Amino acid sequence: MKKIGVVFGGTSAEYEVSLKSTAGVLRSLEELAYEVVMIGVTQKGEWLLYQESIDLIEADTWHLEASCVPLQLDVTGRGFFDLTRNCFIQVDVIFPVLHGGDGENGVLQGVFELMKIPFVGCGVTASAIGMNKMMLHQFAKSLGIKSTPSLLVHKGDVDNLEIQLFIETHGFPIFVKPNEAGSSKGITQATNKEELVTGITEAFLYDHQVILQKNVQGVEIGCSVLGNETLTIGACDQINLAQGFFDYEEKYQLITAEIQVPASIDFKTERQIKEQAEILYRGLGCRGLSRIDFFVTDTNEILLNEINTMPGFTSHSRFPMMMKEVGLDYTEIIQTLIELGVESYEHSLLALSE
């Protein structure tokens, strides 16, 4: 029986999202023939072996349990060292259910590669580029994929000429985003210069770089991709907003927003979105899964917004719902992802031996 190490939590602003996703993954794994090792990362960066109820993960009290055991990553022994019991814990596959920050930007993926353990999801390069919005847009441009017009801002650049030119070219409203963050954390919409300055200041609380992004008149469309070499592309979904924009609160509480699956777009547009998603997925060298988000403007222009290499993963999150529409249920996705992680690892070993 394979031993699956589910890593959750983390130090990013998306810690709470990770806990929700992890609860779904763990409950699904109970239906499959695996031994599960739960490994939590606290918001302070402590790695703990967790052995209690899934419910306590959802409630974010898991780390308070006396049974939690400090762990140390062992890059030479392909596993984790139990510092309390002075023993080694090996796992066959790591399922990292971490969103944003070091969980999704290639840092942990690099650690897992050094540990020589198969893991679920994209590798270092795809994760790093996917997390960096500006770098992603520049890479997409090299593949012939258009992106939402954006400008990278560094600290101290609030009043520079480039920002003024961006305002004059695109006008308000302008979206302000941390360059490397997800789940809409730190994102604001500015309708004037004063709000823009305030938004930039807030975004810098989440990252050392910020991007300004032109407001797009249109609809946001998501496309989910599952696989390594052979890909399964799910149905596109659509974000319907009654007001405002798809911020953190709307994403996880759906107060006025509605996620529609499948999207109400014509066949030609859907096909073009899926083609662009596949080009980007393969170009980045993605593995396992990704959700790629686009805007379709009122003039039917397709613009890349972002890619999520570890999207929200509860059973009712966007990625599983898009896959459900093409016949894959949640547990099947979990099973497939584990198999894809092993396949990717074996492929890398084969490449090294040649």
Q: For residue 150, which of 186, 183, 175 has the smallest C-alpha distance?
A: 175
> What letter would DSSP give residue 121?
S
Q: Which helix (H) or strand (E) holds 182?
A: none
Q: Could you tell me how far CA 34 lies from the centroid of its own chain?
A: 25
When pLDDT is cut at 50, 70 and 90, the band that residue 24 belongs to is very high
3-state secondary structure of 196: helix
| pLDDT at site 161 | 87
For the chain, where do the domains classified as CATH 3.30.1490.20 start and end? Answer: 150-214
| pLDDT at site 243 | 54
Q: What is the pLDDT of residues 101-112, one digit of tens each?
A: 889 999 999 999
Residue type, 307: I
Interior CA angle at 126 toward 257 and 123, to 5°? 110
Q: What is the pLDDT of residues 26-51, one digit of tens each?
A: 999 999 999 999 999 999 999 999 99
Give the class (CATH, top level) of 218-348.
alpha beta
pLDDT > 80? residue 196: yes
Would you state the structure tokens that stand for residue 59, as one six-digit string?
A: 């409630």
CATH 3.40.50.20 fits 3-119, yes or no: yes
Spatial distance between the Cα atoms of 226 and 71, rounded to a whole number of angstroms: 31
| pLDDT at site 229 | 96
| pLDDT at site 253 | 46
CATH topology for 150-214 is Dna Ligase; domain 1 (3.30.1490)
Residue type, 89: I
Spatial distance between the Cα atoms of 13 and 179, rounded to a whole number of angstroms: 14
| pLDDT at site 184 | 63
Up-side HSE of residue 278: CA atoms within 13 Å toward CB? 14
Torsions phi, psi for 177 (to 5 deg): -135, 140
Q: How far from each other are the two terminal CA atoms of the chain, in whole angstroms? A: 30
Q: What percent of the chain has pLDDT over 70?
A: 93
pLDDT > 70? residue 246: no
When pLDDT is cut at 50, 70 and 90, the band that residue 158 belongs to is low
Spatial distance between the Cα atoms of 247 and 203, rounded to a whole number of angstroms: 13
Per-residue pLDDT averaged across 187-206, rounded? 92
**Pairing of the two strands 35-41 and 3-9:** parallel
Give 229's contacts (C-beta < 8 A, 6+ positions apart): none
Sheet containing strand 87-90, edge to edge, reads 87-90, 79-82, 69-74, 47-50, 35-41, 3-9, 93-97
For the chain, where do the domains classified as CATH 3.40.50.20 start and end? Answer: 3-119
> What letter would DSSP give residue 64?
G
Its pTM stands at: 0.92
Residue 169 burial class via C-beta count within 10 angstroms: exposed 0-12, middle 13-18, buried 19 and up = exposed
For the chain, where do the domains classified as CATH 3.30.470.20 start and end? Answer: 218-348
When pLDDT is cut at 50, 70 and 90, the band that residue 245 belongs to is low
| pLDDT at site 252 | 45
Spatial distance between the Cα atoms of 215 and 14, rounded to a whole number of angstroms: 24
Q: What is the pLDDT of residues 46-100, one digit of tens each?
A: 999 999 999 999 999 999 999 999 999 988 778 999 989 889 999 999 999 999 9
pLDDT > 80? residue 236: yes
Q: For residue 278, which of 131, 145, 180, 124 has the smallest C-alpha distance?
A: 145
Per the CB < 8 A criterion, the answer to whether 292 and 122 are in contact is: no
Would you state the structure tokens that stand for residue 255, as one six-digit string?
A: 């107060």
> What letter would DSSP give residue 309?
S
Per-residue pLDDT averaged across 294-306, rounded? 96
When pLDDT is cut at 50, 70 and 90, the band that residue 227 belongs to is very high
pLDDT > 80? residue 266: yes
| pLDDT at site 322 | 98
Per the CB < 8 A criterion, the answer to whether 24 and 99 are in contact is: no
When pLDDT is cut at 50, 70 and 90, the band that residue 354 belongs to is low
| pLDDT at site 74 | 87
